[in-house]
Amino acid sequence: MKRSKSLKLALMGATILTMTACDNPDEVAAIFEDVDECAKYEGQDLDQCRQGWEEAKQEHIRTAPKYTSVADCQADFGEGQCEQAPQQTTSGGSVFMPMMMGYMMGSMLSGGGRSNVATQPLYRSADDPKTFRTGDNQKVSSKTGVQKVPSTVTSRPTTKTSTVRRGGFGTTAARTTSSTRSYGG
């Protein structure tokens, strides 16, 4: 009796783990530092590489973390890794964002055509410079090329409508919600 009860509990646990894994399946994504690297990768089309890069650049403006000072941005992304954003604060001051270090897009090598991966810019933080991250600070990969990534990083990143006042890329930074305005698009 105890043996069958243990077996049932083990099977129930395995079933739950299997179901959880199915809820968050991996997606096939193409991750590259630039168009040239993408075009050299077997199975990638130059036009798709260029289109992916352009889409990621547009997303970069919309979704990159925004900072009110270059020093705060560099504290999170490293010396020389930040640029001035096209947005300004409501008082006309500059806004800074990390430079785009690469991009992720769906891959034609995913089996059934383009995958469900949203084309988006990727960043590298000062404290983990080898790992690509999304604009929402989700770890993606430390490698380039076509690969499986967690489905949790493949959705379109959120639009950043606030600026970060000081340090802590992601959740530990203080934010000011009414200090930026966007021009166009």
Tens digit of each residue's pLDDT (9 = 90 or more) over 146-184: 999 998 898 887 877 777 665 455 544 444 443 343 333
Give domain status of residue 165, yes or no. Answer: yes
Helix spans in the chain (H): 2-23, 35-40, 46-63, 70-77
Among 106, 66, 104, CA closest to 87: 66
Domain hosting residue 47, numbered range: 26-180
Give domain status of residue 112, yes or no. Answer: yes
Share of the chain above pLDDT 70, in %: 70
pLDDT of residue 43: 82
pLDDT in tens, 81-123: 999 999 888 888 999 999 999 999 987 555 555 567 889 999 9
Gap between the Cα atoms of 95 and 83, Å rounded? 9
Q: How many domains does the chain have?
A: 1
Give domain status of residue 100, yes or no. Answer: yes
Q: Which of 2-6, 41-45, 71-75, 138-142 has the lowest mean pLDDT?
A: 2-6
pLDDT of residue 159: 79
Instruction: Answer whether residue 134 shows pLDDT above 80.
Output: yes
Among 86, 11, 104, 4, CA closest to 49: 104
Average pLDDT over residues 32-56: 93
Give domain status of residue 13, yes or no. Answer: no
pLDDT of residue 29: 92
pLDDT of residue 10: 47
Instruction: Answer whether residue 54 shows pLDDT above 60.
Output: yes
Give domain status of residue 45, yes or no. Answer: yes
**Position 124 confidence tier, pLDDT thresholds 50, 70, 90:** very high
C-alpha distances in Å from residue 7, one per residue of 2, 17, 18, 88: 9, 15, 16, 62
